Chain A
Amino acid sequence: METLVENIQSRLAGKFTSCTVAFDEVTIVVPRDKLIDVCKILRDDAAFEFKQLTDLCGVDYSTYGSTEWSTEATTETGFSRGRVNSSNSRHQWQHDRFAVVYHLVSYSKNQRLRVRSFVDEQEPIIPSVMPIWNCADWLEREAFDMYGIIFEGHPDLRRILTDYGFIGHPLRKDFPTLGHVEMRYDEEKARVVYEPVETEMRVLVPRVIRDDQRYADHEEKE
């Protein structure tokens, strides 16, 4: 792992913004204009040989660190109810809204690497890595389907998992878990009809963030 970090420092100098080791995994953050360049080096350079792309996925950081239930200073006033879309945010997210995360594996070196690249909300466009790793085809289609991230240079960027004619990007944090439409068979029209969802979203277990002292030194190490 140390050699991998050293190789990254020496061979990719100036091409990445940060390189961190956490939970025995190496993550590098690459600006999107240098992504293709970096990926080519990672695949072809004899020091890396990341011949396979294991996984590619999008992440939406827009509600990162926000909770549905404020658990501090509640003893005097009593507990509030857990609510969807409450705005208790613990920390402000510093980067762009979306990220594309690539997991690479090198069979010859027995190493793994995570590459992350941020894209902003207004222009969620990132170059496609399909020419470098062919298997990115469906993975990019999935990320497009789920997050609306556009992969420039992808030859066939269609939706993949959602229904034909689906509207919206379901894994975005502002997309409700219940969705927008529900469908049923209408006997009079003798076809399937779509209608707005009637059910209301409930919080069963509120999302909370607690400071756990046991992991205090754990976090310092990162």
Chain B
Amino acid sequence: MAEIRNYTLNFGPQHPSAHGVLRLVLELDGEVIERADPHIGLLHRGTEKLAETKPYNQSIGYMDRLDYVSPMCSEHAYVMAIERMLGIEPPIRAQYIRVMYDEITRILNHLLWIGAHAMDIGAMTMFFYTFREREDLLDCYEAVSGARLHATYYRPGGVHRDLPDRMPKHEVTNRGQKRLDRRNYNRQGSLLDFIEDFTNRFPRYVDEYETLLTNNRIWKQRCVGIGVVSPERALQLGMTGAMLRGSGIEWDIRKKEPYAVYDRLDFDIPIGVTGDTYDRYLVRMEEMRQSNRIIRQCVEWLRKNPGPVMIDDQKVAPPKREKMKDNMEALIHHFKLFTEGYCVPEGEVYSKVEHPKGEFGVYIVSDGANKPYRLKIRAPGFLHLAAIDEMSRGHMLADVVSILGTQDIVFGEVDR
């Protein structure tokens, strides 16, 4: 009789479809997974500990670096927690800008997800297509904050500055003036014009992706019936976001516990039926269309309603540079704010947003100091990855890649 032996296989940490630095120890019976044990922490930077040693405002940048494919949403949860503790409310225009950028971020995140997910499964083209659109959106990031990824744009009390009136243009090309003009055709006006032009083009792009994937035979073979999660298990396993909606539970923080101005906007929540990888794919594709709708509404509102984007409370928000030239008090406020920060009243707050990956929460315990006493980041990917053992049991080795893809794992937030 032949000897039956189980394999133990190390998947990662240098595997291209491990989405970064995941070491997945797989116990295999032939090609069937018996147990998956993820070893995480290879990207652990101690964000929570670092935040405890810094004044509140200096940690906004750390939030960008948690989930580095959707930075602004994480910032939103963090600044909202501080705002709630301070009892301040940002101006309405700032809230619209935040929502608009949250949705731009959602599209950015989903574009990277679908590109990487499809490439893991073998559809190389998707990656090129989605990065073409990401480029436009990253330009929006850059126009408003100066950085393409780690924006640090949201501040307690509003956003760093108002939207620019001029969209930066491409300047250098070695392929002639004609091509340069073509690249700059939608950059003649303001940032809002550029974003509006993008929202006009974007639904057609999503159609394009769907033509490539939705009815693609190989795509369906790799996705339908893979990683099925029942609604009960999804709740038990702590799943949120598209992972939960894919299993048919209608829950979206933007609708159920609206923050910022989501209650004034019109959008729908797509949900899945079977809870497999294919349903989650459909849910996320529809979410991109809905995000596009939200962005259009925000652009329309922002055009009509100019106003301040930062509260006029100099204990929290820095004074204007011109004011500091001849106003002693402004100078003192500026000095105090940047050398010491502001003290947040004693208490604790859990603030959450509908991050592209699920519920992103920030739990702050304050003892009244200018630094958080304890900051806990509730990362959606952490709990999703914990479920990979259950989701991949009984599947083939190749399906692990598909399941990792559908979970939309980013190690920046899993490891923190």
A residues engaging B (CB < 8 A)?
Answer: 22-25, 27, 51-55, 57, 59-60, 64-65, 67, 90, 101, 103, 107, 110, 112, 114, 133-135, 137-139, 142, 160-163, 170-171, 177, 204-210, 212, 214-215, 218-219, 222
Please, what's the 1-or-0 string for B130-174, where 1 marks a CB less than 8 Å from any CB in chain A? 000000000000000000000000000000000000000000000
Complex Cα spacing A52 to B85, Å:
25
Identify B54's interface contact among A52, A139, A205, CB under 8 A: A205
Complex Cα spacing A23 to B339, Å:
28
Identify B87's interface contact among A107, A133, A137, A215, CB under 8 A: A215
Q: Which residues of the partner chain A approach B341 to less than 8 Å between Cβ atoms? A: 205
Q: Which residues of the partner chain A approach B345 to less than 8 Å between Cβ atoms? A: 212, 215, 218-219
Contact assessment for B350 and A137 in the assembled complex, using a CB-CB cutoff below 8 Å: no
Contact assessment for A52 and B235 in the assembled complex, using a CB-CB cutoff below 8 Å: yes
Contact assessment for B369 and A110 in the assembled complex, using a CB-CB cutoff below 8 Å: no
Contact assessment for B370 and A207 in the assembled complex, using a CB-CB cutoff below 8 Å: yes
Cβ-closest chain B residue relative to A222: B347
Complex Cα spacing A209 to B339, Å:
14
Q: B45-53, B271-279, B327-335: which lies at the A interface?
A: B45-53
Cβ-closest chain B residue relative to A69: B340
Contact assessment for A209 and B367 in the assembled complex, using a CB-CB cutoff below 8 Å: yes
Please, what's the 1-or-0 string for B254-288, where 1 marks a CB less than 8 Å from any CB in chain A? 00110000000000000000000000000000000
Q: Which residues of the partner chain B approach A101 to less than 8 Å between Cβ atoms? A: 363, 376
B residues engaging A (CB < 8 A)?
Answer: 40-41, 44, 46, 48-50, 53-55, 58, 84-85, 87, 235-238, 240, 249, 251, 256-257, 315, 339-341, 343, 345-350, 352, 359, 361, 363, 365, 367-371, 373-374, 376, 378, 382-383, 385-387, 415-416
Contact assessment for B363 and A170 in the assembled complex, using a CB-CB cutoff below 8 Å: no
A-B contact pairs, 24 of them (CB 8 A): A22-B347, A22-B348, A54-B238, A55-B378, A59-B374, A103-B350, A103-B361, A103-B363, A107-B235, A110-B256, A135-B236, A135-B386, A135-B387, A138-B386, A139-B238, A139-B382, A163-B41, A171-B48, A171-B49, A204-B54, A205-B58, A205-B340, A208-B369, A209-B367
Q: Which residues of the partner chain B approach A206 to less than 8 Å between Cβ atoms? A: 340
CB distance from B81 to the nearest CB of A (A): 9
Contact assessment for B363 and A177 in the assembled complex, using a CB-CB cutoff below 8 Å: no
CB distance from B79 to the nearest CB of A (A): 15
Q: Which residues of the partner chain B approach A204 to less than 8 Å between Cβ atoms? A: 54
Q: Which residues of the partner chain B approach A139 to less than 8 Å between Cβ atoms? A: 238, 382-383
CB distance from B348 to the nearest CB of A (A): 7
Q: Which residues of the partner chain A approach B257 to less than 8 Å between Cβ atoms? A: 110
Top-8 shortest CB links A-B: A135-B238, A161-B41, A138-B386, A57-B376, A55-B378, A215-B345, A134-B236, A161-B44
Complex Cα spacing A59 to B359, Å:
21
Contact assessment for B346 and A114 in the assembled complex, using a CB-CB cutoff below 8 Å: no
CB distance from A34 to the nearest CB of B (A): 22
Contact assessment for B363 and A205 in the assembled complex, using a CB-CB cutoff below 8 Å: no
Q: Which residues of the partner chain A approach B53 to less than 8 Å between Cβ atoms? A: 177
Complex Cα spacing A174 to B318, Å:
34
Complex Cα spacing A54 to B221, Å:
33
Beyond A23-B84, A112-B350, list 6 extra A-B contacts (CB 8 Å): A51-B236, A54-B378, A107-B251, A134-B236, A135-B386, A177-B50
Complex Cα spacing A51 to B49, Å:
30
Given A64-B367, A114-B350, A209-B368, CB of A55 within 8 Å of CB of B376: yes
Complex Cα spacing A110 to B257, Å:
8
Contact assessment for B386 and A137 in the assembled complex, using a CB-CB cutoff below 8 Å: yes
Complex Cα spacing A22 to B365, Å:
12
Contact assessment for A57 and B363 in the assembled complex, using a CB-CB cutoff below 8 Å: yes
Complex Cα spacing A218 to B84, Å:
12
Identify B85's interface contact among A23, A55, A160, A210, CB under 8 A: A23
Complex Cα spacing A207 to B374, Å:
13
Q: Which residues of the partner chain A approach B369 to less than 8 Å between Cβ atoms? A: 67, 207-209
Complex Cα spacing A110 to B258, Å:
12
Given A64-B373, A163-B41, CB of A55 within 8 Å of CB of B363: yes
CB distance from A146 to the nearest CB of B (A): 8
Given A52-B235, A101-B363, A209-B368, CB of A162 within 8 Å of CB of B44: yes
Q: Which residues of the partner chain B approach A160 to less than 8 Å between Cβ atoms? A: 40-41
Q: Which residues of the partner chain B approach A210 to less than 8 Å between Cβ atoms? A: 343, 368, 370
Q: Which residues of the partner chain A approach B376 to less than 8 Å between Cβ atoms? A: 55, 57, 101
CB distance from B398 to the nearest CB of A (A): 25
Q: Which residues of the partner chain B approach A110 to less than 8 Å between Cβ atoms? A: 256-257
Contact assessment for A107 and B249 in the assembled complex, using a CB-CB cutoff below 8 Å: yes
CB distance from B409 to the nearest CB of A (A): 13
Q: Which residues of the partner chain B approach A65 to less than 8 Å between Cβ atoms? A: 367-368
Contact assessment for A209 and B236 in the assembled complex, using a CB-CB cutoff below 8 Å: no
Q: Which residues of the partner chain A approach B386 to less than 8 Å between Cβ atoms? A: 135, 137-138
Contact assessment for A135 and B383 in the assembled complex, using a CB-CB cutoff below 8 Å: yes
Complex Cα spacing A112 to B348, Å:
14
CB distance from A111 to the nearest CB of B (A): 10
Identify B46's interface contact among A57, A103, A170, CB under 8 A: A170
Cβ-closest chain A residue relative to B43: A161
Cβ-closest chain B residue relative to A133: B236
Contact assessment for B373 and A23 in the assembled complex, using a CB-CB cutoff below 8 Å: no
CB distance from B354 to the nearest CB of A (A): 13
Identify A177's interface contact among B49, B251, B346, CB under 8 A: B49
Q: Which residues of the partner chain B approach A134 to less than 8 Å between Cβ atoms? A: 236-238
Contact assessment for A25 and B54 in the assembled complex, using a CB-CB cutoff below 8 Å: no
CB distance from B52 to the nearest CB of A (A): 8
